Amino acid sequence: MKLRYFAFFLILSAGFASCKKDDHGETTEMVKLHLHTMVGNQAANYTSTFSNNGRSFTLSNLRYYLSNFVLIQDDGTEVPIAGKVILASPDEHEWELGLVPSGHYSGIRFLVGLDSVTNHGDPTVYPSGHPLAPQTPSIHWSWNTGYIFMMVEGKVDTTLAANGSANANFFYHIGLDQMARSVSLSGADVHVEAGGENSFHLAFDLLKALQGVDMRTEIKTHSMDNMMLAEKIANNWPQSFTWE
Amino acid sequence: MNHLTGFRQIAATVIVSALFGCTWEETPIDPGQQVVMPDLPLGFPMPPIPADNELTPYRIELGRRLFHDPILSRDSTVACASCHHADKKMTDGLAKSIGIYGQTGIRNSISLLNAAYQPYLFWDGGVPTLELQVLAPIHDPREMDFDINLVVERLRRHPQYPALFRQAYDADPSPYTLTRAIACFERSLYSQTTRYDRYVYANDTSALTASEKRGMNLFFSERAECFHCHSGFLFTDFSFRNNGLYEKYADSGRARITLNPADVGKFKVPSLRNLAYTAPYMHDGSLATLQEVVEHYNSGGKNHPNKSVFVLKLNLTEQEKQDLINFLLSLSDP
């Protein structure tokens, strides 16, 4: 008899605990990030041959970390989404970002890459399937403990006249704390409400990230061995994301 | 009866049934799961041990087995033990280690004895913990050329490992438990009490010879300057120093991590324990004997803008050089 009361009490208190999300009397909704990885106006993939200023290339690996999301309401109120990290790739285009108060949102800010604490943490503490857990193929430098923020690998035509075929390996591994870049987009009109779609629609364009990169000669960087090229690409990130 | 009394009764019931649970299902405590203290030589302080990876006999044994198992490498030919031999005090006797497919690595294998005290690992200090260190050789294309997730897949299919992991960590093989187990084994490895330790920590004045004592005085003098960097019970302050080995470094050392030109040619000051077993010396194994090492420091080394101020021409006599070498050898395990 007593135990039955006790069990009831337990259930009741569990119920109260789960209601605490609305502690300011606001309702919260799950918002999603919808992100397409593009090469110009084509969806990025690992089978097509793409063109960068007439120079053909293919992709075999394109992954990048986004983190430190902040959603910005119409009145300028910033709603940070703590701890959320996304490992974006052409294979995936929708992620749950987190619970935020209902309302009208006009902007989003996030980091391409990771903050320095997360970057130098221990990947093995994350459960399998977590974006920060060890990935296969790896997207982490194990000898200096840091993640690769953006990994672009494939083959490119390196003939002078750009009239050959894409058969030379290229790779851009952009990492190190100083390569993280903040991206800020405003002017959207996203209504976060019960039953709504509650999605922020973005696109990342690899061609914009490679603006100014001569893919005939600038074909490799591990960041630390070619900082100029790594910085050139990282500096393009803020302009490579647009509303979709 | 009020609610409080009711609650007390329930609490009592819970406690009583918990007690009965113990009496009914009591199993003898498994000594393999008991936390053990490392077996330290005379004078050594307790090393820092992470709360999530305390030493237990099961964990140490699992780590020891993994350490010796080439299952960690892509073609199952290279184990951690391939470059860290117990009979060479966990080094390999080579200038530079040989990894998978017969490839020569870039640096000299460092002893793992006393690794528990290291504030960061590798000659360039790029990795902060023994647990994280495990990832590097597995992924290095010159060492094991593999992938930790694929190692874990192999371990999960193995006829014995899953049970050993559950015994040690109450969990399946995973990147987390794999790195913990190997680090736990490494944290159980220490040097032994040397004649120098008996002299210093047990006041055994006869433990060192006259030549060794002269060498010791030289070592700790402003004349030879050794002790500035080789300080403390491990004879290292863990700083990064350029010791004037080259005018131009093929391996940028600490600068590989910091990208700072002022760190080019700087490497972590190594411990001087067990030099008798760990030749050749320096980050690239370029000095074959202690005679060569002492001659290098006596000469003041090559010119380099980052060279430590303590590396300068010493003008030691032949007797002083021999005394210094004799002292250095007294820091080796018996």
Q: What is the pLDDT of residue B4?
A: 45
Calpha distance B138→B179 (Å, rounded): 11
Nearest alpha carbon to residue B130 among B78, B180, B76: B180
Sign of the CA dihedral with B257 first, then B263, B264, and B268 last = negative
- Closest partner residue to A122 (CB to CB) among B131, B178, B257 is B131
**Helices B57-67/B175-186 angle, 10° precision:** 100
Which residues lie across from B318 on neighbouring strands?
none
Contact B189, B115 (CB under 8 A): yes
pLDDT of residue A26: 74
Quick check: B136 and A227 CB within 8 A? no
Instruction: Report how far apart, in Å, the C-alpha atoms of B263 and of each of A134, B120, B126, B240, B243 are.
Output: 30, 16, 13, 8, 12
CA distances from A54 to A164, B151, B284 (A): 11, 42, 46
Check pLDDT > 60 for residue A16.
no
**How far away is chain A from the Cα of B210, in angstroms, using its nearest Cα?**
44
The pLDDT value recorded for residue B28 is 82
Q: Which residues contact B23 (CB under 8 A, 6 or more apart)?
A: none
Encoding tokens for residue B195?
Answer: 């004649």
Nearest-Cα residue of chain A relative to residue B130: A122
Residue type, A65: Y
Backbone angles phi, psi at A200, to 5 degrees: -100, 120
E strands, A10-54, in order: 28-39, 42-43, 50-52
Average pLDDT of chain A to the nearest whole number: 91
Angle between helices B148-157 and B175-186 (to 10 degrees): 90
Residue numbers of B between 146 and 205 with CB closer than 8 Å to A: 147-150, 174-176, 178-179
- Nearest by CB to residue B126, choosing from A124, A145, A176, is A145
Q: Mind listing the pLDDT tens digit for each residue in A150-168?
A: 999 999 999 999 999 999 9
Pick the residue from chain A with its C-alpha nearest to B134: A142
* Contact residues for B253 (Cβ-Cβ < 8 A; gap 6+): B123, B124, B240, B242, B263, B264, B265, B266, B267, B283
CB-side neighbour CA atoms (13 Å) of A90: 18
Query: Which of 171-200 (A) contact B at CB < 8 A?
Result: 176
* pTM of structure: 0.89
**Chain A residues with beta carbon closer than 8 angstroms to that of B13:** 2-3
Return the pLDDT at A75: 96
- Paired strand residues for A202: A35, A243
From first to last of its 334 residues, chain B has per-residue pLDDT tens of 344 444 455 555 455 455 555 555 667 889 999 999 999 999 999 999 999 999 999 999 999 999 999 999 999 999 999 999 999 999 999 999 999 999 999 999 999 999 999 999 999 999 999 999 999 999 999 999 999 999 999 999 999 999 999 999 999 999 999 999 999 999 999 999 999 999 999 999 999 999 999 999 999 999 999 999 999 999 999 999 999 999 999 999 999 999 999 999 999 999 999 999 999 999 999 999 999 999 999 999 999 999 999 999 999 999 999 999 999 999 999 9
Query: Least CA distance to A9: which residue of chain B?
Result: B7
B136 neighbourhood in chain A, CB within 8 Å: 142-143
Report the chain A residue with the minimal C-alpha distance to residue B150. A136
pLDDT on residue B27: 74
Q: Tell me which residue in B10, B135, B257 faces A142 most closely, judged by beta carbons.
A: B135
B92 within 8 A of B82, measured Cβ to Cβ: yes
CB proximity A140 to B under 8 Å: yes
Cβ distance of B132 and A122 shorter than 8 Å: yes
Contacts with A124 from chain B: Cβ below 8 Å: 131-132, 135, 148, 174-176, 178-179
The whole-number pLDDT of residue B29 equals 87
Q: Give me the pLDDT at residue A14, please.
A: 42
Paired with A112 in beta bridges are A66, A181
* pLDDT tens digits, one per residue of A47-74: 999 999 999 999 999 999 999 999 999 9
Residue A3: pLDDT above 80?
Answer: no
Nearest CB neighbour to B150, from listed A3, A5, A136 = A136
What's the confidence (pLDDT) of residue A20? 37
Q: A138 touching B, CB under 8 A?
A: yes
DSSP type of residue B240: E
Phi-psi domain of B115 (left: phi exceeds 0; alpha: psi -120 through 50; beta: other): alpha
Q: What is the pLDDT of residues A196-242, one digit of tens each?
A: 999 999 999 999 999 999 999 999 999 999 999 999 999 999 999 99
